[in-house]
């Protein structure tokens, strides 16, 4: 047996006993040149070597912002004293996931998801959002992913996106969540200008996942 195999066998997968028997669900969108980018951001994935042409390993150059496609907003994104992505403890990046289907609360593309709607969801399910959980907001906006490659196309197709209201963000902070994800371009609804939900959540060192493929 190769020495490398012996070494690998001594390194157990983190929380392997917890993962056994569970189904892993992929919620990310692929990074491509055609995906929409925030204004002023360049995103380009280039092939710089291939086996057929160059005779050696395939390599790619990704010239991009970290806020393209499915990505994590570290708390420092809006909180100058917040955690950087490499400072987030690993045990905050996994845990109890709470998927909240908010589609019935959305009647307009730029609607906000309010505290009363989150509380209504809790009552309807007979549960409370637990401390230390990661909340996923299911708006249905992931269905628009891949239908546009420019902002003009996006506005004509999706006409905006829903997001979290300030009172809902404060409510989730009070519940003690560690992270939140959403299947829209931003946790704040369009057209976001002052980003209140971002500020409220990151002030509590809560990480934000955007552009989920739900």
In a domain, 1, yes or no: no
pLDDT at 48: 65
Q: Which is nearest to 149 in space by CA: 19, 16, 35?
A: 35
What pLDDT score does 128 carry?
A: 96
- Domain membership flag for residue 31: no
The pLDDT assigned to 13 comes to 46
**Is residue 8 a part of any domain in this protein?**
no
On whether residue 58 sits in a domain, the answer given is no
Domain region containing 78: 70-210
Q: Is 9 inside a domain boundary? A: no
Instruction: Report if residue 65 sits inside a domain.
Output: no
Give the chain's domain count. Answer: 1
Mean pLDDT by 10 residues, the chain (214 residues): 40 52 84 68 62 67 66 92 92 91 95 98 97 97 88 88 97 98 95 91 97 92
Query: Measuring CA to CA, which residue among 47, 104, 83 is closest to residue 206?
Result: 83
Peptide bond into 191 cis (omega under 30): yes
184 assigned to some structural domain: yes
- Asked whether residue 46 is assigned to any structural domain, the reply reads no
CA proximity to 170, closest of 115, 127, 113: 115
State the Cα angle at 30 between 24 and 32, rounded to 5°.
Answer: 170
* Spatial contact of 157 and 150, defined as CB atoms under 8 Å apart: no
The CATH code of the domain that includes 132 is 3.50.30.50
């Amino acid at each position: 047996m190769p020495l490398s195999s012996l070494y690998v066998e001594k390194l157990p997968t983190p929380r392997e006993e917890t993962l056994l028997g569970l189904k892993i669900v992929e919620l990310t969108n692929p990074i491509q040149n055609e995906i929409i980018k925030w204004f002023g951001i360049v995103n380009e994935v280039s092939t710089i070597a291939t086996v057929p042409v160059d005779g050696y390993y395939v390599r790619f150059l990704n010239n991009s912002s970290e806020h393209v496609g499915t990505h994590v907003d570290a708390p420092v994104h809006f909180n100058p004293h917040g955690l950087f992505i490499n400072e987030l403890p690993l045990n905050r990046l996994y845990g109890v996931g709470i998927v909240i289907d908010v589609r019935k609360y959305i009647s307009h593309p730029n609607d906000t998801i309010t505290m009363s709607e989150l509380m209504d969801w809790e009552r309807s399910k007979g549960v409370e959002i637990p401390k230390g959980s990661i909340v996923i907001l299911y708006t249905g906006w992931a269905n628009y992913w891949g239908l546009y490659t420019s902002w003009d196309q996006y506005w004509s197709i999706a006409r905006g996106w829903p997001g979290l209201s300030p009172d809902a963000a404060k409510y989730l902070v009070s519940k003690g969540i560690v992270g939140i994800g959403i299947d829209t371009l931003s946790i704040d609804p369009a057209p976001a200008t002052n980003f209140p939900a971002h500020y409220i959540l990151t002030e509590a060192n809560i990480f934000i996942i955007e552009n989920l493929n739900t």
